[in-house]
Every structure is written in structure tokens, then in C-alpha cells.
Chains A and B, each alone.
Chain A
Amino acid sequence: MSRRLGWFLAGGLLVALLLAGVVSNFASGSPDGLDYAARQGCTFNADDEITGGTCMLQQEGEHQMGDSPLAGYALRGIDNEFVATGLSGVLGVLVTFAVGGGLFWLVRRRAPR
């Protein structure tokens, strides 16, 4: 890998870490498009519990990985929401880069020499 490409990757990774580690705390907390559609038809109380109606969300099951220390983009054991979200984001970026980059490196086409 050339040194120029190395600098570009480092720069890009830094941007991703800042977005996931810091900017993520300023993201909207509203339900996203899919979640919004899943809530259509139900009524909710102040605690966001379903109080009536029919909607897709009622059928939502437990997540198999719900016990993951990173579940819900937080970090178990860290109560400060800002820190927990940021750290989980940083870990997610690093894991995704390592797993993705590693697998792509393994299946890459070797230059004939």
C-alpha cells in the first residue's frame, strides 16, 4: 500500500471516528422512517408504551443479541449517555473497518508478479 493511500485512509477514518464518536450525540432522536411506519395505527403514552390500536410494532420480538454490551448503541457500565454513545460509535467504526477491510484484503485479487 502506498504512503499516499495510507494518509487518505487515515484521514477518512478520522472523519468517521469524529462522526460516530462526537456528532452522533447530536443526531435526531425521533423514530426513523421504518420505525415511524411501524408505529402507525397505535397510540402511545408519555413513556412511549403502546396504549391501543393496531401497528406493526406490537409484533416486535426480542433481539437475540439484546445482551450485547454494545446493544442499542450504548456501552454497558457507562451511564453518561454522551460518552456511551460516542464510545460505542468509535468501537463500531473500528470493528467495521477491521472486519470489512480484513475480509476485502483476504479476497482481493493478487497482482501477478
Chain B
Amino acid sequence: MQETATLNNSFKSEEYFINMGPQHPATHGVLRLLLTIDGEIIKKVEPDLGYIHRSIEKMCERDSYQQIVHLTDRMDYLSSHINNEAVCLTVENALELEIPDRVKVIRTIIGELTRIASHCLWWGVMGMDVGALTTYFYGFRDREMINDIFEETCGARLTMNYNVPGGLMWDIHPNFIKRVKEFIVHFKTKIPEYDKLLTGNVIFQKRTKGVGVLSKEDAISFGVSGPVARGSGYSCDVRKYHPYSALDKVTFNEVLETDGDTFARYNVRIKELWESLSIIEQLIDNIPEGEHRVKTNAVIKLPKGEFYQKVETARGELGVYIISTGTKNPYRMKFRSPGFSNLSALNHMAVGGKIGDLVATMATLDLVIPDIDR
């Protein structure tokens, strides 16, 4: 009698608690997820943040406006140029500086190259997360060409710090246009290979279709932005709605998918590669002549007030909010980072799924942890 009782007890389903991270390879950084699971079924996901918090917002209050720019490299390091651009645009708007067209066009081209580089890395890592290691090498191979372009023009591969309030640190390198054109030709043959290798793969489709579904209503209420929101059919591209730099001169489509699952988000990013390529193609042949930099004061003092600028990074909407009291440092600086809001939807997407599905879902959220913690 007692034996049967213990037997029944040991088969009883029981919720338990497991740590995923902070050193888990699938979390792409030091993100700790507290999982409440019942067997293999996820009951609750609780992200525990702060492992790479460096108080960038507080450091900004100490620094001058030129110095702030290089700190934003270290937030979302995969779209560092776009982060820099956001800060510079905010400062320029506050100062009411007239920026030359040449600067705007170059900023947009490099911004889109950054987006392609980021999506290449994401594609490689996405494949790796669901078990296809080959994609990692192919993604990094194509990203390497962009990194070389950046290294030649900006001097660094990842933390570029190429923007300064008022323009660009240097003019583009003479080889820049040639190299970008070579890259476009090269990359146009590679995206179809991406599709053949991973998108059409039956194992990959089984792992991603119908997994981690986020409806349009939920996407809006969680404040999700970028490719994650567009995968749910929520049209929110900042480049379309609030064009900055030279984005109002180009035509491109906002990629929208309606399914809201992992596969839809995957497709959005792959199609965005084509759109980014088309934006670069439209601009690369007619970079206007002119100054690459407007002279600003050595000590930039913003007028008293509040300033906000949002841009579309590879992950979504990045907002930069400055409160100035008229001194050479901001009184308060706030970054609305896309990764933080996107992560907030993870619990909603993962509950009810398996642990393997959680990894696939997280891969399409494209989390960069320093961007979340700042």
C-alpha cells in the first residue's frame, strides 16, 4: 500500500525552478532567465537584468556632448553607428544646426550597412541556436566585408564613433564607394543562399513555425518595436514614419508579416536585408559634394529644455531623451532601448512552449544584453 503511494508521488507532476544563464550560450550575453517549468513545459519566464549594467545614462550626465557619443557605441554594439547618429541628431536638433546633405547621405548609407551587418550576425546566430552551425560561418563571412569597409572609413570595426555633433569625424575613404558597390554585388548572390540553406529547411521550419506567437495587440501593448513588431503585423518603422537623415529621399517598403511567430520575425529580417540593400543602392551613386562637418563650438551648450529623437536601429526604436539646463552637460539623459521593451514580451511568448522553443523565440528577439542593461 505504502509502496503504491510513493510510486504515485514520484510520478506526480511538479513545477520547479531553473536558471537559464547568466552564462548560457543561447542568451547571447549575461542575461539570466528564471524559468518555472513543469517537465519540459514553460510556466513562467522571468528575466533578471543588471549583470552588465554600466550606468551609461549616469555617465552621460558627467560628459560633454561630444563625449557622450562614444558611450552609445557600447550600448547596442551591433548597431553602434545608428546609436551615435541618434545622439548627434538630438544635439543637432537642439542647436538647430543645418547639416550638409553629404553628411546625411553618408550617415544613412553607413547606418544601413550597420543594419545589414547586424542582421547577418543575427542570421548566423539564429541558425546556431536552432542547431544549424553552418549559418554562423556564412553570416560572419559576409559581415566581414562590411567590417572592412567600416575599418577603412571609420577606423574601427565595431565601436566606430564616426559621428560627431555637426557631422562626421572624417570624410569617407576614397575606396568607400568602390567597396560598398562590390559588397552589394557580392551580397545579392548570398541572400538567396541564405534562403536555400536555412529558410527552406524543413527542420528549421518545424522549429520556428507557430512558435512564440505574439499577436498584433500584444505587440502594441508590450511596446515592442522593430522587426519583432513588424513580424506581428504592427507597422512601426521609424524610418517610414519619422524619417531622419537622408531617409526621406529614398523609397523602400516596410516589411510586414502577419503571423507573429518566430518564422515571421525571421522572414522580416531576411526581407529587410533586401530593403537595406536597395536604400544603399539608391544613395551610393549620388553622394552630394560638400563639407563633411559643420563647425561647432568646442564646448557645446544646449539651450534649456527637453529634446527627443528616435531612430530605427537594427533591433527597433531607439529613443534619446535629453533634459538640458543650459550647461555643457545634460541634466538627465535617457535612452529608450529597443531590446528592453522587446524582452518584456518574452514571458508572454514563451509560456506554454517547450524550453527549445524558448531558445528559438529568444533568437528572433535578437537581444543584445548591453543594450538592455545599459
Q: Do A and B come from one complex?
A: no
